[in-house]
């Protein structure tokens, strides 16, 4: 008779031994473990939190990146006017951005800085700076700065967001006072020249988004003076004369509610702008002039070329190429680009663009953005 025993499928199995990764994760938490799964041969699958943090480090590499992401955030919220106040004290760079966009509900003031949180479920904005609408911009800003906070907002009231960054950890251009100069590209488009500082970042954005969005850049006092001046230009400014609670007023209009220097200082503090009572007196007295939109100031500074003497002896016959030949030349350049593509693992996002001017042919290769 056989002594073979039959063991049911639910009996006799040794309990599953947790992997080292799972054990350390259970003991130390997610911050101590960056890997979700080891795939062998040196390959791993990162945990979502670690992947998000690495993406944030890639998205924000300087203070100018913070500025452009905040500007794009305001634009996507429907803002038509954006006030930017910036200061540098020691190693601390402070930015306050006030807009007249759709605002942030009270319940979302903290959560908008979480990864993958966005109000643009069905709309993703593609512009010259890349894709916007993934819910990563504000998260990336907070990950790379000392502080990122919604100072004032409300649904339909616009917002004021303050960011403080350590310049020793998040670098910025050394020259932050020089305005860019204006020139023209080969195709007649406006081009800026100068250091890629905060001023130029605001100017490039303003030129790209005009006339739908105006950007004002200056100190805290400049911004407060400008906010009051914008209300003065409004035909229904009298409605602010009898406001009891400034929080009921659109954020960008709140400085105009102040009736005295102390109240203006308090409102400024609530918006994330720090000014003295003496400065508040100067603003109310009209001693601090409001800002002009950066695009208007920039184009004015660029000037209009004066009359130039014409050299009639100079041959002004420009090179003209038929469109069919330009198209064929573009395809030839695309095939020639294969050499670079194979050796350096890059690709084109579209056909090479050929522009022809009087004495020059320019071929532009737009590369695919790398993840």
pLDDT in tens, 244-253: 888 889 999 9
Task: Classify the C-alpha dihedral 248-250-252-253 as positive or negative.
Answer: negative
- Give the pair of three-digit tokens for residue 279: 């400065």
- Give the pair of three-digit tokens for residue 331: 């395809």
Determine the pLDDT at residue 35.
63
Residue 95 has pLDDT above 90, yes or no: yes
Q: Is 120 found in the same domain as 160?
A: yes
Report residue 314's pLDDT band, with 50, 70 and 90 as the boundaries: very low
Determine the pLDDT at residue 228.
95
- Specify the higher pLDDT residue, 184 or 30: 184
Percent of the chain, pLDDT > 70? 73
Task: Please compute the mean of the pLDDT values over residues 255-284 and round it to a whole number.
Answer: 94
Domain of 43? Answer: 20-55
Last residue of a domain, one of 55, 81, 103: 55
Q: Is 201 found in the same domain as 139?
A: yes
Report residue 183's pLDDT band, with 50, 70 and 90 as the boundaries: confident
Residue 46 has pLDDT above 60, yes or no: no
Residue 130 has pLDDT above 80, yes or no: no
Residue 29 has pLDDT above 60, yes or no: no
Residue 135 has pLDDT above 50, yes or no: yes
Determine the pLDDT at residue 41.
67
167: phi then psi, degrees, rounded to nearest 5 = -65, -15
Determine the pLDDT at residue 2.
47
Residue 63 has pLDDT above 60, yes or no: yes
Report the DSSP pairing between strands 81-89 and 214-218.
Answer: parallel
Q: Is 198 found in the same domain as 125?
A: yes
Q: Across all residues in the chain, what is the average pLDDT? A: 80
Q: Is 235 found in the same domain as 202?
A: yes
- Specify the higher pLDDT residue, 365 or 306: 365
Determine the pLDDT at residue 213.
94
Determine the pLDDT at residue 53.
63
Token pair 């609530």 is at which residue? 270
Q: Is 142 found in the same domain as 36?
A: no
Determine the pLDDT at residue 310.
41
Determine the pLDDT at residue 128.
74
Q: Is 47 found in the same domain as 66?
A: no
Determine the pLDDT at residue 126.
65
- The number of domains in the chain is 3
- Give the pair of three-digit tokens for residue 275: 């000014």
What span, in angstroms and rounded, lies between the C-alpha atoms of 349 and 337? 12
Q: Is 150 found in the same domain as 25?
A: no
Cis amide bond preceding 211, omega within 30? yes
Q: Kindly state whether residue 305 falls inside one of the protein's structural domains.
A: no
Last residue of a domain, one of 283, 299, 315: 299
Of 113-127, 233-247, 267-281, 331-345, minimum mean pLDDT range: 113-127
Residue 71 has pLDDT above 90, yes or no: yes
Q: Is 269 found in the same domain as 342?
A: no
**What CATH code is carried by the domain that includes residue 65?**
3.30.565
Cβ atoms of 45 and 37 closer than 8 Å: yes
Q: Is 33 found in the same domain as 68?
A: no
Q: Is 223 found in the same domain as 152?
A: yes
- Specify the higher pLDDT residue, 361 or 303: 361
Of 9-18, 113-122, 226-235, minimum mean pLDDT range: 9-18
Task: Please compute the mean of the pLDDT values over residues 103-116 and round it to a whole number.
Answer: 86
- Specify the higher pLDDT residue, 233 or 274: 274
Determine the pLDDT at residue 313.
46
Determine the pLDDT at residue 31.
41
Q: Is 332 found in the same domain as 273?
A: no
**pLDDT per position as a tens digit, 189-241:** 778 889 999 999 999 999 999 889 999 999 999 999 999 999 988 777 777 77
CB atoms within 10 A of CB 101: 25
CB atoms within 10 A of CB 273: 25
Among 102, 137, 95, 97, CA closest to 116: 137
Residue 144 has pLDDT above 70, yes or no: yes
Percent of the chain, pLDDT > 90? 43
Residue 309 has pLDDT above 50, yes or no: no
């Amino acid at each position: 008779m056989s002594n073979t025993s039959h063991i049911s499928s639910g009996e006799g199995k040794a309990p599953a031994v947790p992997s080292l990764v799972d054990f350390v994760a259970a003991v130390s938490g997610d911050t101590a473990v960056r890997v979700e799964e080891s795939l062998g041969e040196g390959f791993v699958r990162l945990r979502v939190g670690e992947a998000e943090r690495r993406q944030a480090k890639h998205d924000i590499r300087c203070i100018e990146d913070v500025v452009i992401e905040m500007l794009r955030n305001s634009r996507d919220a429907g803002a038509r006017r954006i006030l930017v106040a910036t200061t540098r004290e020691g190693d601390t760079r402070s930015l306050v951005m006030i807009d007249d966009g759709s605002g942030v509900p009270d319940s979302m003031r903290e959560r908008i800085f979480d990864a993958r949180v966005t109000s643009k479920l069905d709309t993703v904005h593609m512009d010259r700076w890349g894709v916007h609408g993934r819910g990563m911009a504000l998260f990336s800003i907070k990950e790379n700065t000392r502080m990122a906070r919604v100072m004032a907002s409300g649904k339909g009231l616009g917002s004021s967001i303050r960011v403080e960054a350590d310049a020793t950890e998040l670098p910025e251009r050394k020259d932050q006072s020089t305005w860019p100069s204006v020139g023209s590209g080969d195709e007649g488009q406006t081009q800026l020249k100068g250091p890629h500082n905060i001023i130029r970042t605001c100017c490039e954005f303003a030129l790209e988004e005009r006339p739908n969005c105006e950007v004002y850049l200056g100190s805290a006092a400049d911004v407060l003076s400008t906010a009051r001046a914008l209300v003065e230009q409004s035909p229904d400014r009298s409605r602010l004369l009898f406001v009891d609670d400034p929080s009921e007023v659109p954020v960008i209009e709140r400085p105009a509610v102040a009736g005295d220097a102390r109240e203006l200082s308090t409102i400024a503090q609530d918006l994330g702008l720090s000014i003295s009572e003496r400065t508040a007196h100067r603003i109310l007295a009209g001693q601090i002039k409001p800002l002009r939109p950066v695009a208007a100031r920039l184009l004015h500074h660029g000037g209009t070329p004066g009359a130039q003497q014409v050299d009639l002896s100079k041959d002004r016959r420009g090179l003209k190429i038929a469109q069919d030949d330009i198209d064929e030349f573009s395809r030839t350049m695309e095939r020639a680009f294969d050499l670079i593509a194979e050796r350096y693992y890059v690709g084109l996002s579209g056909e090479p663009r050929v522009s022809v001017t009087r004495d020059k042919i320019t071929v532009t290769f737009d590369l695919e953005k790398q993840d």
